[in-house]
Structure 1
Amino acid sequence: MLAALLERFGTPLTITEVEDPQIGTGEVLVDVLATCIPPYAAEVFSGARRYPLEPPVISGVGAIGRVVRTGPDATRLHPGDLVWCDATVRSRDDAAAPDITLQGWSSAGEGGLTLSRYFHDGPFAQRMRVPTENAVALGDVDLADVARWSALGILLVPYGGLLAADLQAGETVVVSGATGNFGSAGVAVALAMGAACVVCPGRNAAVLRDLESRFGKRIRTVTLTGDGEADRAAIQAAAPAAVDVVLDLLPPSAGTGPVRAAALTVRPYGRIVLMGGVGMLGGDDLALPYPWLMRNSVTVRGQWMYPRMANHQLIAMIRSGVLDLSHEAVTVFPLTAANEAVEHAAAHGLPFQRTVLAPSGDLAGEAQT
């Protein structure tokens, strides 16, 4: 099969023939139809993000695929089924605190790294092997919509954060990083979950206006100034009611200032969920005042990725129309143009811009808006 191989950090991907993956019990083999390339993929492949990814590796993170073959323990999946291949692979020998790897992408701790050495290769190939529980049935999906469906890999991340916050319909949410690729996805998901209002702080005025035009009156935008106290006050003033939830999705390049300004807007008994990359490349740590947290009974939680059931829930939300994929503007590249696709993703990282690799070739050349 053909694959785009990262042989070492800082070099272009090599388009080459490799052996087809073999599966055993507890595994599924899929043809990879579409995989959404995160805008920061170039930073991962250059080594700038310092991910614990071990080349040589077939990279990528999450995909839409078609089942080729299942292991003997699969009872519901069949060859030909369309599936979402969830990249979040968990170890099976500790249900209370499983190790996690993002197949073909990243991992956490020594256990996650060990797991990644088995489920090593991701979707930048014509075929990939995934754990059975990570092949989630999509049902009937028009082939023309498959590229848009690959945005699941982006949408699931903020959904995991909002589940961790126990977001309830009618609540007010602040999405820190709302003008970014993941943050804007968080805005869409929060609204789909029934948020009464989503406050969107950011520096890019054009993107803030775009969010307002897409989602209407349930969006309130705030242009950040860099003055922490002024920004905090502006976010609180923009919210039509007390802020129930703050979700942070800012990238490693951001400082702690805007995170802190957003966090300090939450009401007593409110919830703060941290999912971004702030501090991963060094810099100041996030300092929240102990007395304020304690006396206001504020919950602060870190969240990496999402629970397994989130896959089924978000798929159901999309199929029902509650979460609308029509916002997704997709540009599709063939596997042979993987390096060009990575460059395109880096240059097109605004909200709802998706760069998709189509390793099987069926979707290449299509543009969807």
Structure 2
Amino acid sequence: MQAAVLTEFGAPLTVRETPDPVAGGGEVVVEVLAAPVPPYAEEVFSGRRNYPLEPPVVPGIGGVGRVVHVGPDATRLRVGDLVWCDCTVRSRDDALDPDITLQGWSSRGDGGARLARHLHDGSFAELMRVPTENVYPLPADAEDDPARWSSLGVYVIPYGGLLAGGLEAGETLLVSGATGNLGSAAVATALAMGAGHVITPGRNRAALGLLADRFGPRVRPVELTGDEDTDRAAMTAAAEGPIDMVIDLLPPAAPSSVARTAAMTVRQYGRVVLMGGVGMLGGTDFALPYPWIMRNSVTVRGQWMYPRPANVGMIRLIASRALDLDPERLRTFPLDAVNDAVEYAAAHGGPFDRTVLTPAAA
């Protein structure tokens, strides 16, 4: 098969012939029809994000594909099924504290690194080997546009955070980092889940306007100034009532003060979910006042990626059109143009911009 290989950090990906993957027990081989290329992929491949990939490696964070082989323990998947392949792989030998790897992308700790060495390669290839439990059948209408359905991989991340925070219908949510690729996905997902209003702070006027135009008065844009007191007051005023929950999806380059400003708008007994990259590249640590958390009974929790059932929930939201993928701005690239795709994704990382590789069509 053909695959795009990261031979070393800082080098362009090389498209070359590699051995076809072979599924063992508990695994599936999938023909990759559409693999999302995140806007920060160039930062990963250059080494600037310091992700624990071990070159040579086929990168990629899941995608849409067609099953070509199933292991003997699969009871419902069939060859030919159109499926979503989730990159979040958990070890099977500890139910309470599993090791985790993002297949073809990243991992956590020594156990996650060992898991990554077993499931080394991701979706930037014609074929991919995936754990059986990470493969999810898609509805029939996904056949019409697999590339658009690969946006599922963007939306399911903030969906995991919204589930972790227990977002309820009618509540007011503040999305810190709302004008980014993941933040804007959080806005759309929260509204699909029934949020009453979503506060969307940011500095990019055009992106704030796009969110307001797409979703109407349920979205409350706030243009940030950089002054903590001024910005916190503006966000609180935009809510016109209590802010029930804050989700942070800011990128690693964002200062921790921006995350703190947003978090401290939440009401008494409110929830704050941290999913972004603040502090990953150094800088000032994220700090919240102990007395403020304690006296206001605020829940603060981290969430890395999402639980397995979130994949099923997201497929249902899209299939029902509660979450509409039609407005996505989609650009596809064949596998042999993978470096062009990475460059394009870096320049088009705004709200609802999607860059997708189509390996099987190469």
Q: Same fold per TM (> 0.5)?
A: yes
CA distance in 2, matches of 1:268, 1:69: 52
**What residue number does 2:213 align with?**
213
CA distance in 1, matches of 2:62, 2:270: 32
Deviations 1:247-269 (A, max 9, x none): 00000010011101100000000
**What residue number does 2:283 align with?**
283
2:328 aligned with 1:328, yes or no?
A: yes
Residue aligned with 2:84, SS: strand
Q: Is the 8 A contact 1:148 1:330 kept in 2?
A: yes
CA distance in 1, matches of 2:139, 2:225: 46
Residue aligned with 1:284, SS: coil
Q: Which amino acid aligns with 1:279?
A: G
How many matched pairs? 362
Q: Is the 8 A contact 2:176 2:259 kept in 1?
A: yes
Deviations 1:70-97 (A, max 9, x none): 0000000000000000000000000001
**What residue number does 1:41 align with?**
41
Deviation at 1:240, TM superposition (A): 2.4
2:65 aligned with 1:65, yes or no?
A: yes
CA distance in 2, matches of 1:287, 1:230: 19
Q: Is the 8 A contact 1:171 1:195 kept in 2?
A: yes
Q: Which amino acid aligns with 2:143?
A: L
Deviation at 1:139, TM superposition (A): 2.5
Deviation at 1:105, TM superposition (A): 0.3
Deviation at 1:144, TM superposition (A): 3.4
Deviation at 1:39, TM superposition (A): 0.2
CA distance in 1, matches of 2:6, 2:309: 31
Deviation at 1:145, TM superposition (A): 1.6
2:126 aligned with 1:130, yes or no?
A: no
Q: Is the 8 A contact 2:142 2:149 kept in 1?
A: no
CA distance in 2, matches of 1:126, 1:241: 51
Residue aligned with 1:58, SS: coil
- Any gaps of 5 or more consecutive residues in structure 2? none
- Any gaps of 5 or more consecutive residues in structure 1? 365-369
Output the aligned Cα RMSD: 0.7
CA distance in 2, matches of 1:129, 1:25: 11
Q: Which amino acid aligns with 1:53?
A: L
CA distance in 2, matches of 1:176, 1:237: 16
Residue aligned with 1:267, SS: coil
CA distance in 2, matches of 1:62, 1:14: 19
Q: Is the 8 A contact 1:81 1:139 kept in 2?
A: no
**What residue number does 2:345 align with?**
345
Deviation at 1:143, TM superposition (A): 3.3
Deviations 1:145-199 (A, max 9, x none): 2111001111011000000000000000000000000000000000000000000
CA distance in 2, matches of 1:229, 1:201: 14
Deviations 1:320-362 (A, max 9, x none): 111111121110100000000000000111100100000001x
What is the TM-score of this pair, normalised by structure 2?
A: 0.99
Q: Which amino acid aligns with 2:187?
A: V
Q: Is the 8 A contact 2:270 2:299 kept in 1?
A: yes
Deviation at 1:113, TM superposition (A): 0.7
2:93 aligned with 1:87, yes or no?
A: no
CA distance in 2, matches of 1:168, 1:139: 26
Q: Is the 8 A contact 1:44 1:51 kept in 2?
A: yes
> What percent identity do the matched residue pairs reach?
65
CA distance in 1, matches of 2:278, 2:31: 35
Residue aligned with 1:10, SS: coil
2:112 aligned with 1:112, yes or no?
A: yes
Q: Which amino acid aligns with 2:287?
A: A
**What residue number does 1:354 align with?**
354
Please show how residues 88-237 of structure 1 align to structure 2 within 5 Å. 88-237=88-237
Deviation at 1:287, TM superposition (A): 1.2
**What residue number does 1:243 align with?**
243
Deviation at 1:241, TM superposition (A): 1.9
Deviation at 1:142, TM superposition (A): 4.3
CA distance in 1, matches of 2:142, 2:99: 35
What is the TM-score of this pair, normalised by structure 1?
A: 0.97
Q: Is the 8 A contact 1:272 1:299 kept in 2?
A: yes
Q: Is the 8 A contact 1:245 1:266 kept in 2?
A: yes
